[in-house]
Amino acid sequence: MLHSVSLQFMWTDRPFPARVAAAAAAGFDLVDLWDWRTVDISAIAEAAEDSGIGINGFFGNRQHSACDPSQRGAFLGELKESLDCALSVGAHQIAIFSNAIRPGGVVSPAPPLAPESLHAATVEALGQAADLVAGTGVTLMLEHLNTVYLPGYLWSDAGLVTAVCTQVNRPEVRVAFDAYHQQLTGGRLTDHLIAALPLLGRFDVAGLPGRTEPGTGEIDFGYLRSVLVAHGWDGTVTFEVIPSDGNPDTALAGINKIFPSRP
């Protein structure tokens, strides 16, 4: 498994390029970002190259919804900008959201269509998005989120993104399984994880409550890791964690205990 760490919550006392260096020093293979437009992505890419670490991915769409047919052109245009950025910095993955998500976590509502119409519109949009990234080596990662803190978000359950990904049926489109979000909204982590495995492009780790490191809270990440290993899954694990006591070293200790560098 490759190990990536989100720079959003770790080493927050320093600028992003210095966070990249800290991630490399801690032994991570990759780093993840949120919105590439709000950071100095060139400086981050330079720091990654200097540190011998890769950029895994970042947000693809945030201003326009994948589920809204009236925004299709704008959605694809926004995605094209993110793809160009990914190619320029060597990023591997682009996160796809069902809805637009404004700063502050404000979710733009889905259009007033029947659920089956929303599903069909999203599948069609992702087919066109797959055409856009085909042959580039960049993968589109479908992100399910929680509706506890993000009310109105369409993909509120891992099963929904697995169903969409199955119907799109393109190698450029994969599932990002987020244990934190799934536990908040739907639970049944093992069942949903096993169902997603044939399409799984990334496994996201954060404890609940508090989005803390593995080994804290109610999610048994040791068990979930054993499920991944038992099924021979060898993809990217991303740690999007807030240190439980504010100290990044505490978070690193929890990560290394449950997710050693190799199975």
What confidence tens digit (pLDDT) does each residue in 79-99 have? 999 999 999 999 999 999 999
- Rounded to 10 degrees, the C-alpha dihedral 172/185/124/65 comes to -100
Which residue type occupies 65?
S
**Contacting residues for 131 by C-beta, under 8 A, at least 6 apart:** none
* Residue corresponding to tokens 């060139």: 42
Give the pLDDT score at 220: 98
pTM value is 0.96
Q: What is the mean pLDDT of the chain?
A: 97
pLDDT in tens, 45-77: 999 999 999 999 999 999 999 999 999 999 999
DSSP one-letter code for 32 = E
Average pLDDT on 5-24 reads 98
The per-residue pLDDT for 107 is 95
Question: Average pLDDT for residues 195-217, to the nearest whole number?
Answer: 97
pLDDT of residue 223: 98
Are 145 and 155 within 8 A, CB to CB? yes
What is the C-alpha separation between 68 and 121, in angstroms, rounded?
A: 7
The pLDDT tens digits for 154-186 are 999 999 999 999 999 999 999 999 999 999 999
Q: What is the mean pLDDT of residues 118-124?
A: 96
Percent of the chain with pLDDT over 70: 99
pLDDT, position 48: 98
* Confidence class for position 35, pLDDT limits 50, 70, 90: very high
pLDDT at position 262 is 47
Q: How far apart, in Å, are the Cα atoms of 138 and each of 35, 128, 191, 211?
A: 17, 14, 28, 27
Nearest to 199 by CA among 146, 138, 158: 158
Task: Tell me the C-alpha distance between 13 and 9, whole Å.
Answer: 10
Contacts of 34 (CB under 8 A, 6+ apart): 6, 8, 58, 59
- Per-residue pLDDT at 100 exceeds 50: yes
Helices (H), 107-171: 115-133, 158-168
Q: How confident is the model at residue 103 (pLDDT cuts 50, 70, 90)?
A: confident
pLDDT on residue 230: 97
Q: What is the pLDDT of residue 261?
A: 74
The residue-averaged pLDDT of 149-155 equals 96
Evaluate whether 225 touches 258 at the Cβ level (below 8 Å): yes
**Distance, C-alpha 88 to centroid of its chain:** 20
pLDDT value, residue 263: 42
Q: Are strands 2-6 and 30-32 parallel, antiparallel or unpaired?
A: parallel
Left (φ > 0), alpha (ψ -120 to 50) or beta: where does 92 sit?
Answer: alpha
Class of 2-258 per CATH?
alpha beta
